[in-house]
Amino acid sequence: MAPVKLLKLLVLIGTSFIFVPVPSFWGLVNSAWNLCSVGKRQSPVNIETSHMILDPFLTPLRINTGGRKVSGTMYNTGRHVSLRLDKEHLVNISGGPMTYSHRLEEIRLHFGSEDSQGSEHLLNGQAFSGEVQLIHYNHELYTNVTEAAKSPNGLVVVSIFMKVSESSNPFLNRMLNRDTITRITYKNDAYLLQGLNIEELYPETSSFITYDGSMTIPPCYETASWIIMNKPVYITRMQMHSLRLLSQNQPSQIFLSMSDNFRPVQPLNNRCIRTNINFSLQGKDCPNNRAQKLQYRGMFYSRHSPKQ
């Protein structure tokens, strides 16, 4: 049995060993990451559609781009693909479960080494090929995302599942075409993208589910409200292959694919998963934050549903 003090994954690199922290040890590796181990509202989670609660007070999401396209810098962080918007291009979101308006700070991509895995959230125990996460902070209460991430009502993350298909979402096509994605092959590579229409990233649906959780990377602050859209977006098989060719490391180091950059699902711990999908069965309140089982009739998008 490995010693208890072995808190990181031992990896052979060339003729030497390095230590790489794995998610199950995050809370033990660094005391500032304690919530990753002991938190009760951690993300991601497995979404059991039979336990979703209809909330008639959830309004449609409202995306405000000011009628302008945006620019941003795409990074290889070594853990995920990150697109950070330029500060002069403001995109705000409101509605849904939000009391305040939230400002888009970053878009992250998670994906798998094979099509059967890659998303952080699961749907009835099944993963999608990837997951797009749009990270917003509460700009009405806080001055920046760093402050908001530590604070109540600080963050809203819109999550959209990715699925491999013959065609590609127009926004993701800008990010993942060969001329662009090859500019960020190695860790710390960056590339400027201009003329992006954020609204093109969203699937054609106003339906979503929502729950209270955390960020999926350390320090795992439990300050995020998650909004998961009811339909996926699509990328081509070639674009997925290009993502899998991105390296966690710099050019001078051994190649390690960035794929499978998802955190395992965390216990739900009696949190409510609410939805605005109109069930034939009347929704119930969620007393004491305990989920009530509904006779779900399959209105939520299935991983194996045909493209719509």
Give the pLDDT confidence of 125-170 residue by residue, as tens digits: 999 999 999 999 999 999 999 999 999 999 999 999 999 999 999 9
How does residue 180 score in pLDDT terms, banded at 50, 70 and 90?
Answer: very high
**In this predicted structure, what is the pLDDT of residue 189?**
98
How does residue 286 score in pLDDT terms, banded at 50, 70 and 90?
Answer: low
Which residues have CB under 8 Å from 115's CB, separation 6+? 129, 164, 240
> Could you tell me the residue ranges of all domains in the chain?
1-33, 39-282
Q: What is the mean pLDDT of the chain?
A: 88
Q: Which residue numbers are catalytic?
A: 142
Burial class from Cβ neighbours inside 10 Å (0-12, 13-18, 19+) for residue 5 reads: exposed
Structure token digits, residue 112? 């798998």
Say yes or no to pLDDT of 30 above 50. yes
As a whole-number percent, the residues of the chain with pLDDT over 90 amount to 78
- At the topology level of CATH, where does 39-282 sit? Carbonic Anhydrase II (3.10.200)
**In this predicted structure, what is the pLDDT of residue 248?**
96
**In this predicted structure, what is the pLDDT of residue 295?**
32
How does residue 21 score in pLDDT terms, banded at 50, 70 and 90?
Answer: low
d(CA 201, CA 170): 7
Calculate mean pLDDT across residues 253-265.
96
**In this predicted structure, what is the pLDDT of residue 278?**
85
How does residue 8 score in pLDDT terms, banded at 50, 70 and 90?
Answer: very low
Which residues have CB under 8 Å from 96's CB, separation 6+? 58, 59, 60, 61, 156, 208, 210, 227, 276
How does residue 3 score in pLDDT terms, banded at 50, 70 and 90?
Answer: very low
Say yes or no to pLDDT of 207 above 90. yes
In 3D space, the residue among 135, 85, 93, 144 whose CA is nearest the CA of residue 110 turns out to be 135
Q: pLDDT of 69-123, one tens digit each?
A: 999 999 999 999 999 999 888 999 999 999 999 999 999 999 999 999 999 999 9
Say yes or no to pLDDT of 255 above 80. yes
pLDDT: is 195 or 295 the higher one? Answer: 195
Contact 263, 216 (CB under 8 A): yes
